[in-house]
Amino acid sequence: MTKTYEIAVIPGDGTGPEVVREGIKVLDTVSGKCGFNLNYTYYNLGGDHYKESGEILQDDALESLASSNAIYLGAIGHPDIKPGILEKGILLKIRFYFDQYINLRPIKLYEGVDTPLKGKGPEDIDFVVVRENTEGLYTGAGGCLKRGTDDEVAIQESINTRKGIERCVRYAFEYCRKRNKSKKLTLCGKTNVLTYAFDLWERTFNEVSKEYPDIRTDYAHVDAICMWMVKNPEWFDVIVTDNMFGDIISDLAAMIQGGMGIAAGANINPEGISMFEPIGGSAPKYTGKNMINPIAAILAAQIMLEAMNEHKAASIIEAGVIKVLREDLESVSAGKMGYTTEEVGDLVAEYIDKN
């Protein structure tokens, strides 16, 4: 019997629907080739839906998402809506509800893509950031007192649990082993200042490392990581870190791989339902213009297939992306690709069809 996957699709705001459309075009082409089915259920969520209905993400939508095998997200974010409402109400809510405790950001400079790093090429930029995705500064723990007065106090707490750190670190070791590149795992922390949180991270990391004698370990403070990522990106294979540092360093990393047109990520619960997304955001100024680069969304689809163990299909998509980046696109920036959003999707799909 042909395998069928249930994919929940949240096209979302801005250019989200445009890039998701191209991702699905590519997914349909590759699933036909590789002999599995993808069944899509669309969810109307995001800023426009919130403005029309006052609804952000209802419990029944969450329950319905729970019946899918994976979630494919375009973008969430709306210029008219106060920052935090949609991010917390949709993106973070899904991450927490489904306990997607890993945020995975593969960083790879493909041939034909410019990096802002002088003298660095595809052989130098190929690593992965494994970011803890459910704890740290993101839990919302804290509070404020006397808001709006001269005596105002704001506390935002970083929550780090042994279990939360251990499962993340273990995932990173396993990933590093499976990736089988230079087999080096770097812990990114701040043990010189955050002496409680990163003491726990460091001890956990060192303990778990004993189970992985084949993986070399390294440690660097987050500020040093930023420095080395620009100066010597070739030093990195897999980096593991907490939620906040991971958020920051993965955007720096996205820039050195060519920027938001390329960068894709995944919110993973290895035992549950994961969510895959291009990380570029809703890009309101390009909305509806058929100008945005859909490659990041296509690569998010590729990571999704990888996570569903459809390795052959995933590598066919990557081969298509490699070809299109190397031979076709003039630039990876919106409006400068030499092709429209739709045409870029067509180019990848045509390659897959022919190979």
Contact map string, positions 246 to 275, toward Mn ion, x by CB under 5 A: -x----------------------------
Q: Which of 27, 91, 168, 292 binds ligand IPM (CB under 6 A)?
A: 91
The contact pattern for Mn ion, residues 126-165, with x = CB under 5 A and - = no contact, is: ----------------------------------------
Nearer to ligand IPM, 141 or 145 (CB): 141
Based on the shown chain and the rule CB under 6 A, indicate whether residue 13 belongs to the binding site for ligand IPM.
no
- Helix and strand numbers (H, E) in the chain are 12, 12
Least distance in angstroms from the C-beta of 203 to ligand IPM: 26
CB of residue 251 vs ligand IPM: minimum separation in angstroms?
7
Binding mask 69-88 for ligand IPM (x = CB under 6 A): ------------------x-
Q: Give the H/E segment covering residue 74.
A: strand 70-75
Residue carrying structure tokens 């022919």: 354
| List of long-range contacts for 47-51, beta carbons under 8 Å, 24+ apart | 47/13, 47/76, 47/77, 47/78, 47/80, 47/81, 47/86, 47/282, 48/13, 48/78, 50/78, 50/81, 50/85, 50/86, 50/89, 51/78, 51/80, 51/81
Residue 91 touches which of ligand IPM, Mn ion, none (CB < 5 to 8 A by kind)? ligand IPM
Residue 146 is classified by DSSP as: S
- Across 89-110, b (16+ Cβ under 10 Å) vs e yields bbbbebbbebbbbbbbbbbbbb
Element (H, E) at 42: strand 36-42
Q: Minimal CB distance to Mn ion: which residue? A: 247
The footprint of ligand IPM on residues 232-291 (CB under 6 A) is 247, 279
Residue nearest to ligand IPM (CB): 87
Nearer to ligand IPM, 18 or 247 (CB): 247
Binding-site size for ligand IPM (CB under 6 A) equals: 5
Q: Is residue 160 within 8 Å of 151, Cβ to Cβ?
A: no
Which residues contribute to the site for ligand IPM (CB under 6 A)? 87, 91-92, 247, 279
